[in-house]
Amino acid sequence: MTVLTVNLVHHPAHGVLTLRGDLDFSSSELVPPLIDAVIKAGLRHLVVDTADLTFCDSRGLRALIHAERTLAALGGGMELVNLHGRLLRILAITGLAGVFTITPDPGGTGQTVRK
């Protein structure tokens, strides 16, 4: 098990949340306060960088879904970037990939591949 570390940076039009480590039962409670911080900053869009996310269980997925729904209810949304490995496979297998905007390379084409 790898401890989850998070980094939230506010930009003029959106927030960027970088996740490193395991997003699981013990760490998923870190996500809601971060979403609250984005909203309190007046932002409605969040980019979640998962390049260094090593594991995500059902509680982690639930936290991400809740974050997406919270922002969508306010007229915004959430984008997952740099998905790979297990998380990408889990989203595909469960059909949850359709819940999120997924961009494979935010520095590249920036094309949304699924929503």
Res. 112: pLDDT tops 50: no
pLDDT in tens, 50-101: 999 999 999 999 999 999 999 999 999 999 999 988 888 999 999 999 999 9
Distance CA 14, CA 56 (A): 24
Res. 115: pLDDT tops 50: no
Q: Which two tokens stand for residue 52?
A: 């260094």
pLDDT in tens, 9-61: 999 999 999 999 999 999 999 999 999 999 999 999 999 999 999 999 999 99
**Closest by Cα among 106, 15, 83 to 6:** 15
